[in-house]
Amino acid sequence: MCSACARSTAPCWLLKKQPRSGAELSKLLEERWPDRDPRSLGYAVQYLSPLVQMPPRGVWGASGQATWTTAEAWLGRPLKTDPSPDKMVMRYLAAFGPATVPDMQAWSGVTRLGEVTKRLRRRLRTFRNERGDELFDLPDAPRPDRDTPAPPRFLPYYDNVALSHADRTRIIADGHGGRLFTSDGLLVGTVLIDGFVGGRWKVRRESGKATLIIQPFGQLRRQDRAMLAEEGDRLVTFAAAGARTHDVRFARPG
């Protein structure tokens, strides 16, 4: 348990006692520190304390009020004082390897992971990319042949595949990175073509009709367009099951 949480007046104790929204937390903190900006106080607690956003944040097709509690309250036990970066790196590689040390650090926000890979080196496979950077992976991880077909696929909003590496050129071609985000900095749904991000997608709902809009970054090959239309039909039917009709539309490349 952190020393602050051990005191009943500590900010994180308010969330341990009961899950609260950001507005509720800010209001309670304002009572304790009336001469401070309440929203800033609330953000400080959310950013500096180990918290868990309570599920469900939203349900399928709808959203809800975000509420937080402490990680200790969620787990039902105190946090360990000896975290294991070794285990974290192994779990990261199981999902996103092969990867470099900067990749691991970009995903986790934890530095000095070179020391961890040095300890784990005998348990890992190592490779070099085209630039000579060292990559690490689990010894028994699947590594398909480079000529293995990669059919078109739709990735959801905030998919970790697009966020979990410092070097994102393995999946995002140069010049396309800015197209993955809205003006508010939100990662959009993306389309994989031959293993690379080659477009964006969104579902538009109006008058009982759901339309999947696919905007490729360039001209599509005929077979890719056909496969995207087929896969897209399954996606929009699933994502907007309550709609009376479903459609797939290709926007102009851009």
| Segment 153-174, tens digit of pLDDT | 999 888 888 888 998 888 887 7
Q: Alpha-carbon distance 108 to 187, whole Å? A: 18
What 3-state class would DSSP assign to 161?
helix
Regarding whether 163 and 94 lie in a shared domain, the answer is no
Regarding whether 159 and 192 lie in a shared domain, the answer is yes
Regarding whether 89 and 69 lie in a shared domain, the answer is no
Among candidates 11, 108, 30, 10, which has minimal Cα distance to 68? 11
Regarding whether 71 and 47 lie in a shared domain, the answer is yes
Average pLDDT, the chain: 88
Q: Are strands 153-155 and 125-128 parallel, antiparallel or unpaired?
A: unpaired
What 3-state class would DSSP assign to 98?
coil
Stretch 215-229: mean pLDDT: 93
The answer, yes or no, to whether residue 1 has pLDDT greater than 60, is no
Q: Do 160 and 95 meet the contact criterion of CB atoms below 8 Å apart?
A: yes
Count helices and strands (H / E) in the chain. 8, 10
Q: Which of 33, 49, 75 is the last residue of a domain?
A: 75
What 3-state class would DSSP assign to 91?
helix
The proportion of the chain whose per-residue pLDDT surpasses 70, expressed as a percent, equals 90
Regarding whether 126 and 165 lie in a shared domain, the answer is no
User: Is residue 1 in some structural domain?
Assistant: no
The answer to whether the pTM exceeds 0.75 is: yes
Regarding whether 157 and 243 lie in a shared domain, the answer is yes
**Beta-carbon count within 10 A of 117 CB:** 21
Backbone angles phi, psi at 117, to 5 degrees: -65, -30
Residue 251: both structure tokens together:
């926007």
26: containing domain = 11-75
Regarding whether 226 and 163 lie in a shared domain, the answer is yes
pLDDT in tens, 49-77: 889 998 887 776 677 888 999 999 999 99
Q: What is the pLDDT of residue 173?
A: 77
Residues in a beta bridge with 16: none
- 201 — alpha (psi -120 to 50), left (phi > 0) or beta? beta
User: Is residue 246 in some structural domain?
Assistant: yes
Quickly state the pLDDT bin for 184 (edges 50, 70, 90). Answer: low
Regarding whether 112 and 157 lie in a shared domain, the answer is no
Render the burial of 128-149: b for 16+ CB within 10 Å, e for the rest: eeeeeeebbbbeeeeeeeeeee
Regarding whether 171 and 211 lie in a shared domain, the answer is yes
Regarding whether 225 and 181 lie in a shared domain, the answer is yes
What distance separates the 2 farthest-apart alpha carbons in the chain?
A: 65
Considering its fold, how many domains does the chain have in total? 3
Quickly state the pLDDT bin for 36 (edges 50, 70, 90). Answer: very high
What 3-state class would DSSP assign to 222?
helix
Q: Which of 75, 104, 124 is the last residue of a domain?
A: 75
Q: Alpha-carbon distance 68 to 49, whole Å? A: 11
Residue 120 exposed, middle or buried by CB count within 10 Å (0-12, 13-18, 19+): middle
- 148 — alpha (psi -120 to 50), left (phi > 0) or beta? beta
The answer, yes or no, to whether residue 8 has pLDDT greater than 70, is no
Q: Which of 75, 103, 123 is the last residue of a domain?
A: 75
User: Is residue 94 in some structural domain?
Assistant: yes
Q: What is the pLDDT of residue 7?
A: 41
Residues in a beta bridge with 200: 190, 215
